[in-house]
Every structure is written in C-alpha cells, then in structure tokens.
Structure 1
C-alpha cells in the first residue's frame, strides 16, 4: 500500500525549504529585479561518481565576504562547512574549516583556504576544501551574509546553545550570554563571525557557525507545517538563486535534507596551530586530523567524536 500523501508531502516541502535555507536563503519583499544572493552548483568531481547512486551527498557551504558591487563568487569565503548527508540513515555531519587555514590551492601555490573562492570561484573552493579533508563535495553553496541575516529574521529568529559568554566591541558590544540564547538576523551574523575575543579564535568561530546552522534547522522544522511558510520561502529563494542543477537534482537534495534526523547530526572543526606568513596571521591546519574526519565520515556521514 502506498504511504499516506500528507506525511510525504510535508517531508518533501520541508526538505525543499531546508535545502535553500541551509544555503542561507530568505523571504524578502518582491521586487521587479532580484539580485543573485545564493549560488548552488554541482562540483566537478574527479572520480566521476554519479551523485544519484550515492548514499552520502557532500555539500560545501560557504559565506561570501563580497562587499556591495563585488562578485559573491569571486570574493573571499567565510563560514566554510563541508556537510555530509546520508540519504539512507538520516545521519549528517558538518566538518568546519577555519577560513585562515593555510593550504595548497590548485594552480595557485599556497594560500588561505578562503582565497580559493577569489581565485577560481565555487569550483576551486570545492576542490581546495576537498583536497584538505579528503572528500570532494558533490555540490557547492555560496551565499551573501546580508541575505543570511534577513532569512533568520524572516523565520522568526533562532536559538543556540552558547558554551561561553563573549562580546565584540564592533559587532556586538553587549555580547552574548552563556546558555540558551535567542538570535535575530544580525545577532546570528555576529555570533557566526566574531573570533578575536574567543579563546579558540578561528576554531571557536567555526564551531559557532555550526551552532547557528543547527538553530536554523530547528526553527525551520518547527514552522514547516504552517500554511504558506514553505511556499513563500521556496518562491523567493528561486528568485534569488542561480544554479546549474536540473530540477531532479534539486528535488533529490530537498529529499535528503528532509530525512536528516537531528539526533544523528555530528559537528567537528578541523584543528590547527597559529602561525604567520610574512605579516599575515594564519592557521596551519592539522591535515592528518582533517583526513581522519573525512575518512571516518565518507561512507556514512557520521563521526564518533572529534
């Protein structure tokens, strides 16, 4: 007997919205012309594996540091998270990569990992992070931070579990308290981007970005059945998104995200040591650790611990 249509429809609707929100999309007022605020492309995988035949899909999510008038796909990257989704078990893993990680960039020598987006767009960014972790992404998301702020506001804000109080004199002078914290759009942006006052610097910032992603997922799940919520979000996202994916691939990604079990989500950040190159401060990532995370999560999108 076929499954009841209602639950299936709700899962797929939630999945489509989760797909676009995971890339930091937002519902904004209609306009005659919409700029591109989210780019979703299929990565050029050297192994040639057909994505539709995989149990685990890998998505690289990147926030673009583009200023007004700059290309969002040819500016420095930030909030770099390699996300694996197991379409069979519902487990998921996010491997955070500090933006100042000093790594080989194919065709460009060594540099900070976030500069790969500047040099070669989403394709080179995906390859660079994939080389570090040992897992090449199937898809690459790139989004603008202002769009991310509006999205968080539109879904009614989010809640995160903050392990320590911290502040920043420029981004958040009054700071964030420890414990369960409610964030609006600006607060979510600040929570994701502050690093100088965190004891772990870039590493703690990457972990905070993962906390924000969890908060977004939880907020979307809580409102997915509200009449019109999913439809408004999807329509607006499609107006602001550029993608080279056919509808079937978008549908598959939406299905995969709808099946994620919150109890089976693991987040880890690639560690490293602080160093300098010339006058620039960098992170020298623990490559063996990054590869260990990738090898452990490659087949089932799960990690037993960081």
Structure 2
C-alpha cells in the first residue's frame, strides 16, 4: 500500500442503516443482520412468496427423502411444503413427543419442558441444501423450527407458542470468517489470496458485529513464518486462514465461508440486488471508473463488487475498502432479516452452488437463524488496522494496540 492510501480519518463512518449507537470510539456504525452471514452467506435473498394458511399446494423437494402428502388433514400442524418425514418430525415437536433420537442435544434440552400445542396449527416449510445436505426451516406463527436431513433432525429454533423461553441456536457467542477469494477464472477458489476478510459475530443475546481485517496486516501465519494475513490462504487454504485469524484475534472462529468474484455477483443478481445507502459517491477505478452514487439505491452484482473492492480513490485506502465490505454485508443482512428465516434454505442453496465452506449444515443453519434474532440497533462494525511499515520490499500494516482493543471488544460477540 503506497503512502497516498494512508487513512486520513479513523473516526466514525456514515451510517448504512441508520440509526445506530456506538459505545466505543473505534466501533463504527451498525445496522444489522444475517448475519448474516450475510451476503457472503448468500443471505441477501428476497425470499419465496408466502402461501396462505392451509394452502392446498403441495411440493416435492429433490433435496429430501419422502414426499409431501395430499392425505386428509391429520391432528396437529399441517406442514405446507414439507416432505412426509419432516412433517412427522414437526408434528412430534408440537405434540410433545419424545425427541431423544430426532433432535440435537441442545435442541432436545430446550424442548424438553415444552407444553404440547392445542388445536390445529398451520405451518409452512422451505427446504434447501447446504453443501449437499438437506436443510429446512419450518415456521408456524412466531415459531421457527430448524431441521437437517436426510434423516430429519431438529437442530434448533424458537417456540414461544410452546412456552419455550429462549431460542436454541447453539452456544454463544459465535463467530464465522467470511472470505472473498481473489481467484481469477481458472484459479482455485481456496488457494489464492484472501481479498476480503470479515469476521461476523453474534453474542446470543440480540447483539453482534462485523469486523473487517486489513489484508496487509503483518502477522505470524499458522503455516509458519510471518506474512500478510491474507497470504495464509495461499499457503494452507481457508483452514489455515481461519487458524491465522484465530491466533491473531484470540476469537474462536467456528469456520469459514468463501466466495469468488463471479460467485458474489451471481448471488447478488439472482437475489435481486442489495438495497443500501451509499454515504459518499465512489468512483471504482479498477472497474473502468464505474460510479457508485451517494444515497439510497439497489446495487447490482457488478456494482456491489466494485464498491466492495475499490481502495485507490478512498482517502483511507484499504481500511476504507474493508469498511465498504462491512457496509455491503450489513445491507445484505438487513434485506435477509426483512425476508425472515423462511428464506434461509433458498439462500444456503444459492451459496452452495458457487461457494465453499467447512461449516456443517447444523452450524450454518443455526448461525444464520441466529442472525435473525439480532436487533439492528445492537450490531457494530469495525476494522482491524494499524500503522504502516515495511517488511523487506513490501508495504505492510503493523498490528497495534488499536486492533488489539478491537479484538478484545469483540470477545463477547458484540461490537456496539
């Protein structure tokens, strides 16, 4: 990074999704969601249309075993869109039946003291897949049941209608590393430089954060030696990148999701773009001077990528670039939150076609659902940065106290 890219302003950034409050001077703005894991998780879906309660439509999913049924209504919830085996599992949940063998330990414990439902309950299921594993979200009123196949198992959710006080979404706090690969056509997605490094966290209590990491941060690599933090993926793949981020930040990051440029633009366009408020007009020098105008707009895939990658025309260079990436993630997550948990299976399916991850279906399903439990006013954003220096012939960013304070702040999963 050359001298003209040095940051001129390390203060607060303009809001993407306002209003937001900050309790620490180096935590910049928030406005959240999904989680999401966000756009990088493909959670920027607009969601499928909602059928009316008791709809007669029936669908069969190739990602599941069993088929939906046109049989007469049975006692208990009627699950529109669910394969027979999943519908039977959800009926067991609402009937108060034994879930010892058909639920994860945490979900089974959460549901142990539930009360059985009374009357007829209508529910809706959406089925998708995550890296080849069937996943499903079933909604009934304010209740959400998360399940993983092919032998369906309840892995989490929330059930206020059954008297279950707290959501079951895995232990908190939790963090996932979102990686944007610099792979060009023909290059391996998982063995090139990490162009984007964003840690997405949730605290399990309605708060969260998105922390960008300057890619030139010079640190010990998990593969040995020292180097720029984004080079860990070149030497050891995304697992080495996660290990390096864990060691540097002290955060027990669960795993990663990684996308390339083409996959990113494809997901954004498939899901109808990203509604966002651009704080200041940006001219993307690397994208034939594409102009991203200030103000509210919906970015296409190419526009979102250009905004997330530009650094040369920004006063704070790569730090501003990382800030923009966080803005895009937050905006996509807000869209996902508005779509609701029912949109998660479609988003995970879309991501699985173009991205890579080492997270299990249970991990990603409970994490993304957890992002829907987050309040937009309780999510902060920051960038781990430092002073400029050199190592050999290369320009680097030196890890300093400001970044270490940010890491410490994020240990509860919340950056507000």
Flag structure 2 segments of 5+ consecutive residues without an equivalent.
Answer: 1-32, 46-130, 133-168
**1:5 counterpart residue number:** none
Are 1:303 and 2:415 matched, yes or no? yes
Flag structure 1 segments of 5+ consecutive residues without an equivalent.
Answer: 1-14, 28-37, 40-51
Q: 2:241 aligns with which of 107, 125, 138?
A: 125
Given that 1:96 and 1:268 are in contact with CA atoms closer than 8 Å, whether structure 2 keeps it comes out as yes
**1:278 counterpart residue number:** 392
Cα displacement (A) at 1:98: 1.0
Given that 2:35 and 2:368 are in contact with CA atoms closer than 8 Å, whether structure 1 keeps it comes out as yes
Given that 1:94 and 1:210 are in contact with CA atoms closer than 8 Å, whether structure 2 keeps it comes out as yes
Structure with the larger helix share: 1
Cα displacement (A) at 1:223: 3.8
**Residues 61-119 of structure 1: per-residue CA shift (max 9 Å, x gap):** 110111222211111002111111122x1211111101111111134311111100111
Given that 1:97 and 1:270 are in contact with CA atoms closer than 8 Å, whether structure 2 keeps it comes out as yes
Q: 1:196 aligns with which of 312, 316, 319?
A: 312
Which portions of structure 1, spanning 4 or more consecutive aligned residues, are displaced by more than 6 angstroms?
none
**1:45 counterpart residue number:** none
Report the CA distance shift for 1:168/1:56 in structure 2 as closer, same or farther (over 3 A).
same
Q: 1:173 aligns with which of 278, 283, 289?
A: 289
Q: Which moved more, 1:240-249 or 1:268-277?
A: 240-249
Report the CA distance shift for 1:164/1:274 in structure 2 as closer, same or farther (over 3 A).
farther
* Structure 2 length-normalised TM: 0.57
For residues 237-252 of structure 1, the aligned pairs below 5 Å read 237-240=351-354, 242-252=356-366
Q: 1:160 aligns with which of 269, 273, 276?
A: 276
Given that 1:26 and 1:147 are in contact with CA atoms closer than 8 Å, whether structure 2 keeps it comes out as no
Give distance in 1, aligned partners of 2:35 and 2:388. 38
Give distance in 1, aligned partners of 2:308 and 2:322. 7
Report the CA distance shift for 1:222/1:172 in structure 2 as closer, same or farther (over 3 A).
farther
Question: How many residues were matched structurally?
Answer: 264
**1:31 counterpart residue number:** none
Q: 2:403 aligns with which of 261, 267, 290?
A: 290
Cα displacement (A) at 1:120: 1.0
Given that 1:17 and 1:234 are in contact with CA atoms closer than 8 Å, whether structure 2 keeps it comes out as no
Q: CA RMSD in A?
A: 2.9
